[in-house]
Amino acid sequence: MTSIPGAGARTGAWLELAVEADLEAVEAVSEILGRVASGGTTVEPAFDLVDEGLGARIDPARPAVVRGYVPARDASVAEAAAADTAEALGHLQAFGLRTIGELRTRIVHEEDWAEAWKAYFPVLRVGRRLVIRPTWRRHRRRPDDVVLALDPGMAFGTGLHPTTRLCLAALEGLADRGDVKGARVLDVGCGSGILAIAALKLGATDAYGVDTDPIAIESTLANARRNRLTRRIRARVGSLPSEQPPFDVVLANLIAGVLVPLAPALRDELRPGGTLLASGIFIDREAEVAAAFGAAGLPIRERSTEGEWVALTAVRTR
């Protein structure tokens, strides 16, 4: 087993695990790092700085970097976590996914850790108007900008992942058609609350979030406060049914394996004629998801893609 220099040198130290991964492999790599990374994981897509370094433009052709943070108080435990991760990544590479790099490690001390991961989250523009601004970043606002102030914590989405960007872009398109103004919105698997907050800033009346992780609910409510939307966002731990009156718009940035069995429940959350925006779908699962939605009375009206990911827009017809 490889020794990790400095892992036991300080009680307040973290072992950073870092892996380059093509976008199609990001979810799988994140899941592997998340098994041991009690300090959280981040995804840093390749990006080019724009607007004099105040913003970023994602480059989906280049691999992302997935990072996880393991407590390094006990050097032997940290080394074992790194070894287990390297072994699991080796098994994953055998599936032939494009570009999964070698595991890199370094020690990050406590006084640096809380700030170190923030470097991986730039101000990000999505679509024409939406701007995701981490709370510690500056942004030169344009007249039409819809700015979301976000502090995701270590493990929740900031819009850097293509599945989130696809859902945000689809939501903006829905707003452009007038279908968000005055709408009641449900965010299934709300995470940081980014989609619910975007919907409200695009004209929705109120939003309700559900997530099986209590930390996600805390993050959603904290970000609602940062955006002065506390009175318009409610969230609770759990899944469907929401036990709320039918919604005009349902947002579900999940994965195909969850979307397929949830299709009837997602339909039941919508009023007749309401719209479902579903993302997190790997392209080779698109047909399966579309078939499940169609069978549930949610025929697909639109699709959008980024790399190997797909977002689908469906409307309740019955």
Mean pLDDT computed over every residue of the chain: 86
Point out the least confidently predicted range of 47-56, 140-149, 176-185, 216-225.
47-56
Better pLDDT: 47 or 55: 47
How would DSSP label each residue in 216-246? Answer: HHHHHHHHHHHTT-GGGEEEEE--S---SPP
The answer to whether 20 and 27 are in contact (CB under 8 A) is: no
Better pLDDT: 108 or 279: 279
pLDDT at 105 over 80: yes
pLDDT value for 185:
98
The answer to whether 283 and 308 are in contact (CB under 8 A) is: yes
- CA of residue 121 relative to chain centroid, distance: 12
pLDDT value for 311:
96
pLDDT at 103 over 80: yes
- Largest alpha-carbon pair distance within the chain? 63
Q: How confident is the model at residue 95 (pLDDT cuts 50, 70, 90)?
A: confident
Find the mean pLDDT for residues 178-194: 95
Find the mean pLDDT for residues 48-54: 53
pLDDT at 308 over 70: yes
pLDDT at 10 over 60: no
pLDDT value for 160:
64
pLDDT value for 7:
42
The answer to whether 203 and 184 are in contact (CB under 8 A) is: no
Residues 6+ apart with CB under 8 A from 231: none
pLDDT value for 28:
86
pLDDT at 49 over 70: no
Name, of 2-6, 8-12, 61-65, 86-90, the range with top average pLDDT. Answer: 86-90
CA atoms of 305 and 197, how far apart (whole Å):
23
pLDDT at 156 over 60: no
Better pLDDT: 167 or 117: 167
pLDDT value for 292:
98
pTM over 0.75: no
Q: How confident is the model at residue 155 (pLDDT cuts 50, 70, 90)?
A: very low
Contacts of residues 289-293 at CB distance under 8 Å and 24 or more positions apart, as own/partner, are: 289/256, 289/259, 289/260, 292/259, 292/260, 292/261, 292/263, 293/259, 293/263, 293/266
Point out the least confidently predicted range of 42-56, 65-79, 241-255, 268-282.
42-56
pLDDT at 240 over 70: yes
Find the mean pLDDT for residues 62-72: 88
